[in-house]
Structure 1
Amino acid sequence: MRILHTSDWHLGRSFHGVGMLPAQAEFIDRLVETVRERRVDAVLIAGDVYDRALPGVDTVRLLDSALERITAAGAVVVLSSGNHDSAARLGFGSALFERAGVHLRTRYADIARPVILPAGGMPVAVYGIPYLEPRLAAAELEVQEPSHFTVTAAAVARIRADLLAREQAGAPVAAVVMAHTFASGGISSDSERDLAVGGLGAVPLDLFDGFAYTALGHLHGRQQLREDARYSGSPLPYSFSEARQDKGGWLLEFDDGVPVSVEAVTWPARRRLAVLRGRLADLLADPALADAETAYCQVTLTDRERPAKAMDQVRTRFLDTLVLAFEPEGGAAGPARTYSQRLAGATDDLDICCGFLEHVRSRSAAQEEKGLFIEVLDRVREAEAAK
C-alpha cells in the first residue's frame, strides 16, 4: 500500500502579480506521473487545495482535471479542507464523488468516518480533519472554551473512539490522520497566514500520539516533526522565503498496517526563485549570478544612495525581478531625519522641494532636477507677482 502525502496546493494563487496556474498545471502533471510510475494507491491533500474560498473558473477546471487524472492513474483521493478553502463549496457533491474514488472531508460530522484502504493484512483507515476554526467548530464538537487546542483535541477524541470501536469489534485498522493546523515544532514561512487573529494557535504534537502516521498541512516547507508526523509542504514556492526549499510531498509504504518507509518526492518547478542582495553595479556585473537571469528575483540594493531608475536598471539583467527593496549598507547616507525635521531645517522653497524628493525616494536631487525646480518656482513667483 503506497500513500502520497501532499497539501497546500493553493490552486489559483498568484506570485507577486504573476499568475501561477501554468506552473500548477505542470506540478499536477508530475504528480500524476508519480502516481502512475510508483503505483500509488492513495493521494492525500491535507487542506488548502484552493487559494481562496471563491476560486476562479479556470482554477476549478484545473482541480476537476487533476482529480480525474489521478483516479484514472489508479489512485483514490482523500481531500480535506483548509483555512483558505470554503468547506461547504469544496464539499459539494461529496457522496457522488466518493463513488468515483474522490473522498472529501470537509464536514465536522465526517471526522470519525474514515476512508478504508485495503492493504493486505491490516487495512489503513484515513481520517480527514478539516480546518477547525474554533468559534465555528466549538458547538458541533461540544467544546465549551473554543481554541485551536480544544477543538483539535475534540476531533482527535472522536477518531480515537472510532478506532476503539473497530478494535473491540475485531476489525482493527492502522490510522492515518490528516490535519490542517500548526503543530508545535513546525517551521513557518512568509506565505502561510495566521490560523488565528493575533497568533498561530499552535496545537501540541502529542495530540496525535499513537497513530500510524499524521499527514499535516498548512506550513509550506516540507519537514519531519517526528518519524510518524510530517508536513508535506506546498508543491510550489509561494514566497521568496521558500526559495531554498525542495518542493513535493512524502511517499509512504505500508505493510500490514505499519509504515515501513517514508520517502521524499520532489517536483522541481520550471522557474526557480532567486534572492539577491548587494550594490547595483556589483549585481549587474557578477558572473556567479548568471542562473538568476532566468529566475523570479527578489533584489535588495545596498547602495548608500538609491540608484536612479533602480528597477529599470536591475531588469536590464534580471528581467523577472518581482520585488525590489532598498537597504543602504551601514544605514542611509547622512543622519536619519523625519520629514518634519527636514522641513524645519529648510532655508528656502528650493530646499523644501529637494528635501521632499530626497525623503520619498532616498536619493538627493540631481543637478538637472534642481534646475527644473528652480524653473517651476520662478514661474510660480512670476504668476503671483502678476496678480
Structure 2
Amino acid sequence: MRILHTSDWHLGRQFHGQSMLAHQAAFLDHLVEAITTHEVDLVLVAGDVFDRALPPVDAVALADDAFARLAATRARVVVSSGNHDSATRLGINSRLIDAAGFHLRTDPERVAEPVLVEDEHGPVAVYALPYLEPDLLRHRWDLPARSHAAALAEAVRRIRADLADRPAGTRAVAVAHAFVAGGAASDSERDIAVGGVSVVPLDLFDGFSYVALGHLHGRALLSESVRYSGSPLAYSFSETDHVKGSWLVDVGPDGVSGSRFLEAPVPRRLARLSGTIDELLTAERYRAHEDDWLQINLTDPVRPVQAMARLQVRFPHVVALQFAPPAAAERERATRLEGRSDHEVALDFVAAVRGTPATDTESALLAAACDAAAREPDADPVADPGPAVA
C-alpha cells in the first residue's frame, strides 16, 4: 500500500502580514498531481488543515476545492484535526461524506473506529487521532494525569482493544497530531504544553505499521515507521533551512518497505541576511536574494534613518528588520550613557530616530515626563530635618 503523508497546511496563515494563500494553493496543486503520478492508495493529513478555528472564507474555499480534488483521485483520504483547527467545524458532515472515500476524523470518541482499506497483503485499519486536549478529556476518559501522554495512551489503548478483535494479520496505521519525543520544534508552532507536560513517548506507537504525525513543522524520521512530514511551507524564519514536502511511504506485510520524501514547490524562498545598510544595498553577493522573503539584521554602529524603506527598494519582500550593531558599538553606546541625565538620553533618542533634534516645547515635555517617572509614589515619607544647625 502506498501512502502519502502530509500535515500542517495552516490554510489562511499569513507570513509577517503577507498572504500565503496563493503559495498554499500551489502546494495543493502539487499534492493532487503527486497522488496521480505516484499512484498513491492512501492520503493521510495529520491535522492543522486551517491556521485558526475560525478561518477566513478564502481559506475555507481553498480547503473545499482541495478536498473535492482529493476525493476525485484514486486514493482514499483520511484527515484528522489539529490544535489550530476547530474539530467541530472541520468535522461537519463527516459521516455523510465517508461514502465518498474521504474520511474526516475530529471526534476523540471515534479514535477506535478505523477506516478499513485492503491491499494484496490483506486488511489495513487506519486509526485517526485528532488533537487530544487533556483538559477536555481528563474527566470524560478518567485519565490518570493531566498530560498529552495520558490522553494519547488512552486513545492507543482503545485502538489496541479494537485491533485485537480484528482478523489476524490486520495491519494498523495511525494518524496523530501531537509532540512525540524526538521531534524538534520551530518558532511557528503553537505551544501545546499542559502544566509543562506536552511530550509523548515514542514507544507508545510500538507495533503500528506506520504512524503519520502532525504538529511539528520540520520533517523528522523518529523511527522507520513513525514520522513527521512537517508543514508544506516555511511559516517562520526558524524554518529557513527546512526542506518542505510530504512522505511517500510503501507499507508491506511487515511494515514500511520503502519511502522517499517528495519536496514541495517553493514559491518564494526565505533568507536571513546580515550587514551594514550600504553593503546590503550595493553588494553583488546579495543579488540572488532580491526576490526572497527576508529577515535582515543591520550591523551599522548607528541606526540608519528610514532603513526599511531604503532596503525595500532593492529587496521588496523584506518583512522583518532587526538592529544588531557590533559589540564595540554597543559598549560605546553604554559608555555614552554613563553620567548623563534621563532627559539628555531621551533627547538623543529623539534625534537618532527622527534625524532632527527635539524642539524646545518637546524638550520641556520630555523633561516633565522624566521627572514624573523618577518620582516614587510608594516611597516612605522622609521627615523634615528642620533648619540646619551651625
Deviation at 1:43, TM superposition (A): 1.0
Q: Which amino acid aligns with 1:68?
A: A
Paired position in structure 2 for 1:373 = 359
Q: Which amino acid aligns with 1:343?
A: S
In 2, distance between residues paired with 1:229 and 1:138?
A: 26
Paired position in structure 1 for 2:60 = 60
Contact 2:11 2:59 in 1 (8 A): yes
Alignment of 1:52-91 (within 5 A): 52-91=52-91
My pick for the range that moved more, 83-92 or 142-151, is 142-151
Structure 1 spans left out of the alignment, 5+ residues:
379-387
Alignment of 1:2-81 (within 5 A): 2-81=2-81
In 2, distance between residues paired with 1:341 and 1:6?
A: 59
Q: Which amino acid aligns with 2:155?
A: A
Identity %: 48
Q: Which amino acid aligns with 2:256?
A: P
Q: What secondary structure is seen at the aligned counterpart in 1 of 2:200?
A: coil
Contact 1:311 1:324 in 2 (8 A): yes
In 1, distance between residues paired with 2:20 and 2:317?
A: 14
Deviation at 1:340, TM superposition (A): 11
Per-residue Cα deviation, 1:308-343 (whole angstroms, up to 9, x for no partner): 111112112111100001111115262438999753
Q: What secondary structure is seen at the aligned counterpart in 1 of 2:259?
A: strand
In 2, distance between residues paired with 1:198 and 1:339?
A: 42
Q: Which amino acid aligns with 1:83?
A: N
Contact 1:277 1:302 in 2 (8 A): yes
Structure 1 pair 336/256, CA: closer, same or farther in 2 (3 Å)?
A: same
Structure 1 pair 114/355, CA: closer, same or farther in 2 (3 Å)?
A: same
- In the superposition, the TM-score normalised over structure 1's length comes to 0.88
Structure 2 spans left out of the alignment, 5+ residues:
365-390
Deviation at 1:376, TM superposition (A): 7.1
Per-residue Cα deviation, 1:2-43 (whole angstroms, up to 9, x for no partner): 110001010111110011111111100000000111111111
Per-residue Cα deviation, 1:251-306 (whole angstroms, up to 9, x for no partner): 01123353211110111221111111122122222222212101111111111111
Deviation at 1:148, TM superposition (A): 0.9
Alignment of 1:68-147 (within 5 A): 68-147=68-147
Paired position in structure 2 for 1:318 = 315
Contact 2:347 2:363 in 1 (8 A): no
Paired position in structure 1 for 2:332 = 334
Could you tell me which of 291, 294, 298 is aligned with 1:294?
Answer: 291
Q: Which amino acid aligns with 2:347?
A: C
Q: What secondary structure is seen at the aligned counterpart in 2 of 1:118?
A: strand
Q: Which amino acid aligns with 1:355?
A: D
Alignment of 1:208-357 (within 5 A): 208-256=205-253, 258-330=255-327, 332=330, 334-336=332-334, 343-344=341-342, 346=343, 351=344, 354-357=347-350
User: Aligned-pair RMSD on alpha carbons?
Assistant: 2.2
In 2, distance between residues paired with 1:231 and 1:285?
A: 41
Q: What secondary structure is seen at the aligned counterpart in 1 of 2:149?
A: helix
